[in-house]
Amino acid sequence: MNVVEMRGIYKYFSDTCANKNVDFSLRKGEIHALLGENGAGKSTLMNILYGLYTYDAGTITVNGARVDMENPATAIRHGIGMVHQHFMLIPQLTVTQNIFLCAKEAGFVLNMPTLEARVEEMNRRFGFRVDPSAFVWQLPVGIQQKVEILKALARNIRILILDEPSAVLTPKESDELFSTLQSLVREGYSVILITHKMQEVLDFSDRVTVMRAGEVVDTLNVSDTDAHALANMMVGREVFLQRQTKPQPTGEPMLEVCDLTVKNDKKLDWVKNISFQVRAGEIVGIAGVDGNGQLELGEAIAGGRTLESGSIRLCGKDITRSSIRRRLDMGLAHIPDDRQKKGLVLQFPIKDNILLSGQRSKQYANGFFLNTKKIEARTRTLVERFDVRPTDINLPAGSLSGGNQQKVILAREVDRGGKVLLAFQPTRGLDIGAIEFVRAKLVEERAKGAAILLISTDLDEIRSLSDRILVMYEGHITGELPYNAPLEQIGLMIAGHDTTTIEKARGDVQ
């Protein structure tokens, strides 16, 4: 039985058609994935269902009855709740206060102990462990998301929409989230999961609706399809995420990290006596679960974090104490882990983001003054070559999708002509088309002889790009593997089992 039916939905934003004749249905008790690249219109469609956006044509039926979705209150009354991509919690309030914010039954004067008891009760029922009296700002994102879910559940909804819920989560947090969702559907809830991650569709969803450019391509049972077919439907053409690199001889060591120890923000040693080299023409992948020191390692190499001990050499010269400026000048290119925070000035137009770090260079400035003509000409070339869309170089970077933001960073860093490229989670949160593009560029740079250090928590990415894989666990490099090492072996190693125990376990089994 369909709990939600959307028929012939049209939605225009001035002249953009975000949803075009969209049909969508949700069955009771299913996890229904809404799959599509960024900008495909997924969030728009669900915001319409949740009453946040008006729609230009079409009908919505909930539990068999036509509903005029005027606002979220209407949606909630019909049992529809939504957890947005960007959480809508008030950090200064406690978990309980957030959950019962505006909830009518909470009454005018809040009786905190009663409400907290109700949160505890929900905790028990849904298998959460959220401290009702904790302040939201104290909580990691994974828990904040649970608060969002509890907030929806507290309003007695039966249909839960989640907009790219795993985008902000660590792999472990994602696993928890999905087991929560599975237990919800067992209780008869229905879930719509917006995502552009194939694996979430294949592993956790019952049906999938693929959207592209505002239209529905198809709705399928997940058991009747596979990753390849879905990827092609999403992008509209053949995609290549498989390994494209061919073995090639490597050159001199360009990045040499020696006995490096770095502290984290809590002043604990978080990178411990790490040593490795990256040679010209190779990609070295650092695999590991988030939080095992990769951030600190990356920042130490980029120059944003001071070292406790050890040394770093770039192109044969010691940069242990060099400023970031000096590292960039010596040939370091840097794709930071957090593109919006560390890689871009979102308020600046694309061209000023291409300029970033080159503003004093001869290429873009005549002495004290910027050469607008040169900046614009170069930006146009790069925007074309890196396929940044839209192509208007005066648009603020903040208005671009994640993939296009990443392309702007990539264009700038590659164009500076660096010999060493530090790529930190270069495709996190991107859609398939952009992932394919970014990876192809990295491979291209490798072919040109760049030394690339790839830090990623995505094992598929590590395996499809690296020439060698280093495993990082609790601040140590716990092993080196060839690129074609079996996935399960890497998986065990990043979880802290060293290879010898694995061998031993194998031995025991045999």
Partner 1 sequence: MNPKKHIKDALLGAWRPALAILGAVLVSALLLRAFGYDAGHSLAMLYDASFSNLRVFGSMLNRACPLLFTGIAVAIAYRGSVFNIGADGQFLAGAIVSAWIGIKGGGLPGPLLILLMVLGGTLAGAAWAFLPGFLKARYEISEVITTIMFNYIAIQLVGYLVRGPLRDMAQAEPQSYAIAAQGWLSYLIPKTKLHPGFIIGCIVAVVIFILLFKSWFGYEVRAVGYNPIASKYAGISVTRTTLATMLLSGALCGLGGFFEVAGASHYLYESLSSGYGYTAIAVSILAGNNPIGVIFSASLFGFLTLGATAMQRVIGVSAQFTSIVQGIIIIFVAAASVKGLQKTRRKAEKGGH
Ligand X SMILES: Nc1ncnc2c1ncn2[C@@H]1O[C@H](COP(=O)(O)OP(=O)(O)O)[C@@H](O)[C@H]1O
Residue 39 touching ligand X (CB under 6 A): yes
Residue 98 touching partner 1 (CB under 8 A): no
Q: Which does 389 bind (CB under 5 to 8 A by kind): Mg ion, ligand X, partner 1, none?
A: partner 1
| Cα 45 to Cα 87, 117, 180, 211, 230, distances in angstroms | 18, 36, 24, 10, 20
Residue 69 touching ligand X (CB under 6 A): no
Q: Which does 425 bind (CB under 5 to 8 A by kind): Mg ion, ligand X, partner 1, none?
A: none
Indicate the residue type of 53. Y
Q: Which is nearer to partner 1, 367 or 482 (CB)?
A: 367
Q: Among 370, 459, 492, 502, which residue sits at the site for partner 1 (rule: CB under 8 A)?
A: 370
Q: Which stretch binds ligand X (CB under 6 A): 22-30, 36-44, 54-62, 216-224?
A: 36-44
Residue 454 touching partner 1 (CB under 8 A): no
Please give the residues from 274 up to 303 whose contact with partner 1 meets the rule CB under 8 A.
Answer: 302
Give me the 5-34 binding string for ligand X, x by CB under 6 A, dash otherwise: --------x--x-x----------------
Task: Please report how close the Cβ of residue 206 comes to Mg ion at its closest, in angstroms.
Answer: 21
CA 33 to CA 192: how far, in whole Å?
Answer: 6
CA 369 to CA 4: how far, in whole Å?
Answer: 59
**H-assigned helices in 13-111:** 42-49, 72-77, 95-99
Q: Which is nearer to partner 1, 187 or 392 (CB)?
A: 392
Q: Which is nearer to Mg ion, 291 or 398 (CB)?
A: 398
Residue 336 touching partner 1 (CB under 8 A): yes
Outline where DSSP puts E strands in 326-409: 332-335, 365-366, 369-370
Indicate the residue type of 189. Y
Q: Which is nearer to partner 1, 272 or 342 (CB)?
A: 342
Q: Which is nearer to partner 1, 433 or 479 (CB)?
A: 433
| Cβ atoms within 10 Å of 321's Cβ, excluding its own | 11
Contact between 193 and 204 under an 8 Å Cβ cutoff? The reply is yes
Phi/psi of residue 39, nearest 5 degrees: 85, 5
Task: Please report how close the Cβ of residue 197 comes to Mg ion at its closest, in angstroms.
Answer: 13
Contact between 277 and 256 under an 8 Å Cβ cutoff? The reply is yes
- Measured in Å, how far apart are the chain's first and last C-alpha atoms? 49
Residues listed for the chain = 510
Contact between 19 and 44 under an 8 Å Cβ cutoff? The reply is yes
Footprint on this chain of Mg ion (rule: CB under 5 A): 43
Largest CA distance in the chain: 72
Task: Please report how close the Cβ of residue 217 comes to ligand X at its closest, in angstroms.
Answer: 13
Residue 38 touching partner 1 (CB under 8 A): yes
- Nearest CA to 336 among 393, 287, 294, 364? 294
Contacting residues toward ligand X, per CB under 6 A: 13, 16, 18, 36, 38-44
Contacting residues toward partner 1, per CB under 8 A: 13-14, 16, 38-39, 302, 304, 323-329, 334, 336, 341-349, 352, 355-357, 359-360, 365, 368-370, 372, 389-390, 392, 394-396, 398-401, 404
